[in-house]
Chains A and B, each alone.
Chain A
């Protein structure tokens, strides 16, 4: 199995630009999670999906952030417009079901200048 796949691995963009992060979960996993990691705030859960349905988006910082899961094999996290404080590593993780062990992707390192 290829594991959780994320793209791009690195993204450098200017403030105000739209950023789209992509994730392909492990086949057969029904839960998908988006996390953000920074030195200051640690690992934060942004949103998670069960069976492609958003369950809890209370961690999404503000309206500039949105996430979709159009099918079981693909999810996106979009930031529009991006700001320098959005700079972080964004991880996608999947699991068989919520509360099970999670498998993390390699992450996308986002830098907003």
Chain B
């Protein structure tokens, strides 16, 4: 079945450093969604990318969707302690979302 793989599983950075998480699907996706889950919280929808090669920005966050619509990335510039949490990508398949394993980001002040 379809799989969505995310790397790395964990990332520890110093505040101010950049951070990137990568998402790869075994099949072409109609869209890719990104979610953030703060420690002790629930996943919160961040953004959806639909077009091949699409790039979207939300302040310090940059999201990309690959040309083949099988991979995506989330890049955070100059991380802050408020960025701490687990970032999930998710792709639709058969009416449901297939979530990646998530990348847990910790930021040292």
Contact = CB atoms under 8 A, between A and B. Distances in A.
Interface of A: 31, 33, 42-43, 45, 48, 50, 55-56, 91, 93, 98-99, 101-107
Contacts of A55: 95
Contacts of B99: 42-43, 45
B44 A104 contact: yes
Band of interface residues on B: 10 to 19
Interface string B81-109: 00000001000101111010110000000
B42 A91 contact: yes
A99 B88 contact: no
7 contacts: A31-B95, A50-B95, A55-B95, A91-B43, A98-B96, A101-B48, A103-B45
A45 B43 CA distance: 13
Residue in B31, B43, B102 whose Cβ sees the most chain A Cβ within 10 Å: B43
Nearest to B43: A104
Given A91-B43, A102-B45, A45 B88 contact: no
Contacts of A106: 41-42
Contacts of B95: 31, 48, 50, 55-56, 98-99
A54 to B, nearest CB: 12
B36 to A, nearest CB: 11
Contacts of B96: 33, 45, 48, 56, 98-99
Contacts of B94: 56
A110 to B, nearest CB: 15
Interface string B41-62: 1111100100000000000000
Contacts of B88: 43
Given A33-B96, A43-B99, A55-B95, A101 B45 contact: yes
A31 to B, nearest CB: 8
